[in-house]
Amino acid sequence: MDHTLSKKAYAKACTCLPGGVDSPVRAFSSVGCTPIFADHAQGSHLFDVDGNSYIDYIGSWGPMLLGHAPAFLQEALLSAVRKGTSFGLPTVLETELAELIKEAYPSVDMVRMVNSGTEAVMSAIRVARAYTGKDKIIKFEGNYHGHSDGLLVSSGSGALTYQVPTSPGIPQDVIRHTLVCTYNDIESVKKAMNNHKGEIAAVILEPIAGNMGLVQAEPVFLKELRQLCTEEGILLIFDEVISGFRVAYEGAQGLYCVKPDMTCFGKIIGGGLPVGAYGGKKEIMQMVSPSGPVYQAGTLSGNPLAMRMGIAMLTYIKEHPDIYAHLEAFGAKLQEGMQAILDQYHLPYPLHRCGSLMTLFFTDRKIRSYKDVQTCDLQLYRTYFQGMLKRGILLAPSQFEVMFISAAHDLRDLQDTLIAFEQTMKELL
């Protein structure tokens, strides 16, 4: 597989973009190679600037639930573009997308649209602090909530990939309001709540964590968390930027039957355009300006192109609920196939899956939290990634990210992926 043009593009990009990219994980440095530059993508396949084709399991890190560039989304975007790209005035599209979200998430009475997941979470935290009159928040080690100051503490995703879970440049004064607990460990939460009684505004988590590899919250952990928050008058915020509309139309809160006070969205709800949203109970959301005192604004918030894409995406999946059965069936077959190969070669690596999200962890430990994830052999992941890439399978270039399956992946992709997997595992031995 020839990567000449990608290498050239990367060298040039490095002269004017830090590290040659606009988001760190894209640099591929943690898997020991230089990035492939995308040219175009269609369905389950992505094509790089050298003309190589890959079965894509990055899926733009989540938004591409239906695969790349489905015709109806292209049409939706074109029709929106023809009407103008931004007005700085409200459009009915914002209400329409908000209604689609509300309808699927009974915990959400009102929604504010923003431009990214980072912005959604950052703003939700501000509202939670204003609503409760408290400053401190609890987050979990290895969970990622975007790159805003107070949340970039013991963080997952790229921060974890590059060993900077807590970034320099964030004042200690900000960090001291972020309490970090252990995922799936309710005792660590009780301890933090006891040590800071009456000081905590919110607990935020990924109910299905997808930024330290895939690690699901245990149902009893979420239930106890909900109960503790209610008892203590602390808001429970679900970051469903990945899990929302992916693990089910109703998200993780639907699967677990746990109602958070606030929810953050992104990725899928923009259909591939930059978008984020946060929402929750009416009395909380009415704190947001101009109906309340909490200031939060955006020149391009509720952008008509992004709204139109989000509406098209959510309407389509709402009308085609069989998509989730397809994702589950593909995911299950892929998991079974991979597991059979792992068993055949006596490889003990845990393979986690929830619907269309999957991670193979290169460790023999049971994985429940960040501590367990830390035992993974990153050298092995690197060999795995490179082995799959040269066979035309594009995985996340980091052990700490998930594989995203789309509804466009078909049986042919499944077979090709399993063949590549078996050859790569043989190479690993």
Residue ranges that bind ligand PLP, judged by CB under 6 A? 116-118, 121, 144-146, 206, 210-211, 239, 241-242, 266, 276
* H helix intervals, 257-301: 282-285
Distances (CA, A) of 182 to 154, 189, 208, 221, 366: 10, 8, 14, 11, 15
Nearer to ligand PLP, 104 or 341 (CB): 104
Please report how close the Cβ of residue 117 comes to ligand PLP at its closest, in angstroms.
2
Catalytic residue, chosen from 10, 54, 131, 144, is 144
Please report how close the Cβ of residue 224 comes to ligand PLP at its closest, in angstroms.
21
Nearer to ligand PLP, 274 or 292 (CB): 274
Contacts of 26 (CB under 8 A, 6+ apart): 35, 397
Name the β-bridge partners of 216.
208
Please report how close the Cβ of residue 296 comes to ligand PLP at its closest, in angstroms.
15
Nearer to ligand PLP, 157 or 188 (CB): 157
Please report how close the Cβ of residue 148 comes to ligand PLP at its closest, in angstroms.
9
Asked if 267 is an active-site residue, the reply is yes
Provide DSSP, 128-180.
HHHHHT--EEEEETT----S-GGG-SS--THHHHTT-SS-TTS-HHHHTTEEE
SS3 304: helix
Tell me which residue has its CB nearest to ligand PLP: 117
State how far the Cα of 343 lies from the Cα of 351, in Å rounded to an integer.
11
Taking alpha carbons only, the member of 354, 118, 132 closest to residue 261 is 132
Distances (CA, A) of 384 to 198, 348, 425: 48, 15, 7
The helices-and-strands tally (H runs, E runs) of the chain is 15, 16
Please report how close the Cβ of residue 124 comes to ligand PLP at its closest, in angstroms.
11
Q: Are 355 and 250 in contact (CB under 8 A)?
A: no
Asked if 390 is an active-site residue, the reply is no
Taking alpha carbons only, the member of 96, 44, 41 closest to residue 310 is 96
SS3 332: helix
Nearer to ligand PLP, 206 or 261 (CB): 206
State how far the Cα of 358 lies from the Cα of 414, in Å rounded to an integer.
14
Please report how close the Cβ of residue 240 comes to ligand PLP at its closest, in angstroms.
7
Nearer to ligand PLP, 73 or 208 (CB): 208
Asked if 349 is an active-site residue, the reply is no
Nearer to ligand PLP, 277 or 418 (CB): 277
Q: Are 351 and 360 in contact (CB under 8 A)?
A: yes
Please report how close the Cβ of residue 171 comes to ligand PLP at its closest, in angstroms.
21
Residues of 143-163 as b/e, b for ≥16 C-beta within 10 angstroms? bbbbbbbbbbbbbbbbbbbbe
Nearer to ligand PLP, 47 or 162 (CB): 162
Nearer to ligand PLP, 30 or 157 (CB): 157
- Helix (H) or strand (E) holding 380, with range, is helix 378-390
Please report how close the Cβ of residue 162 comes to ligand PLP at its closest, in angstroms.
15
233: alpha, beta or left? (left if phi > 0; alpha if psi -120 to 50): left
Catalytic (active-site) positions: 144, 239, 267
